Amino acid sequence: MDAATMKRQFLEYIEIERGRAVKTVENYDHYLTRFMEWGQIKGLGDITEEKIREFRLWLNRQQGTAGGAMKRRTQNYYLIAIRAFLKFLRKRGMESISPERIELAKLPERSLDLITDAELGRLLKAAEGTDQRHLRDKAMLELLFSTGLRVSELCALNSDIDLSRDEVSVRGKGDKVRVVFLSPSAKDAVARYLKARKDMEEALFVNILTVGKNSKKAPTRLTPRSVERMIKTYAAKAGITKKVTPHVLRHSFATDLLSNGADLRSVQALLGHASINTTQIYTHVTDAHLREVHKKFHGKNR
């Protein structure tokens, strides 16, 4: 069977039947194409354990985007794509090597970029102001911390948001819908921003156009990159020297919940993680809590 044809069918399958995002499909296409071109894969019989082993060795010797060797996490992306392709072939009754034979490289434990409660407070205060730009930025910061939204999910919100409720439905990765909750301060910040809006754009967060040459242009939906730049600016203004991104606020949301007694499964649902394994990067918070429990309650009768 022609490998290129099956690859196309696989990409169509994950997009249509599995509902994967277009970007994910593009990434899988890139990883599989690179593997097939490197290994001169024409038919499915050309995909062997030996060829995959040699490909792993080749990847390990490639230069990464930031210089140095390619990161193991990036190498794993290639292996995940190949493994998913082999599973698809099995599902279609095609002869192929077992996808379970492909083991991913072990990764060092992921470290979290976190800011302290004091730094978070300074960051939120840095966006105080009464003009539309400051009101918008304050609303974004409050929403990110209140809901734990991904930056892409924040940018996808529309201005018909119902502030009479404490919850909002968002569509996250894999087109999955989940409910996130608004704190009183987040609701207040969004309400003040919407009151200052004069345009009729559908998007909740739009770029602020300056008067003059842009006066006849309609504002457009903010991009994730714009939000990242905005947060970087306020972090510097707040005197925070470490790197602050929208994802850092997502981390702050999760660690705040866990340190106040929330269970990992609930945080998984609120973050929209498909697997509990992803949420377990935050176990250092619960570990600290367990240490306090042990210290407080263990061995008191001895």
Q: Which residues are catalytic?
A: 150, 173, 247, 250, 273, 282
Distance CA 161, CA 145 (A): 17
The Cβ of residue 71 has, within 10 Å, a number of other Cβ atoms equal to: 14
Burial class (CB in 10 A: 0-12, 13-18, 19+), 29: middle
Which of 195, 6, 23 has the alpha carbon at shortest distance from 86?
A: 6
- Residue 94 sits at φ, ψ, to 5 deg, of -85, 145
The Cβ of residue 178 has, within 10 Å, a number of other Cβ atoms equal to: 15
The Cβ of residue 288 has, within 10 Å, a number of other Cβ atoms equal to: 12
The answer to whether the beta carbons of residues 269 and 257 sit under 8 Å apart is no
The Cβ of residue 67 has, within 10 Å, a number of other Cβ atoms equal to: 6
Place of tokens 């990764």: 107
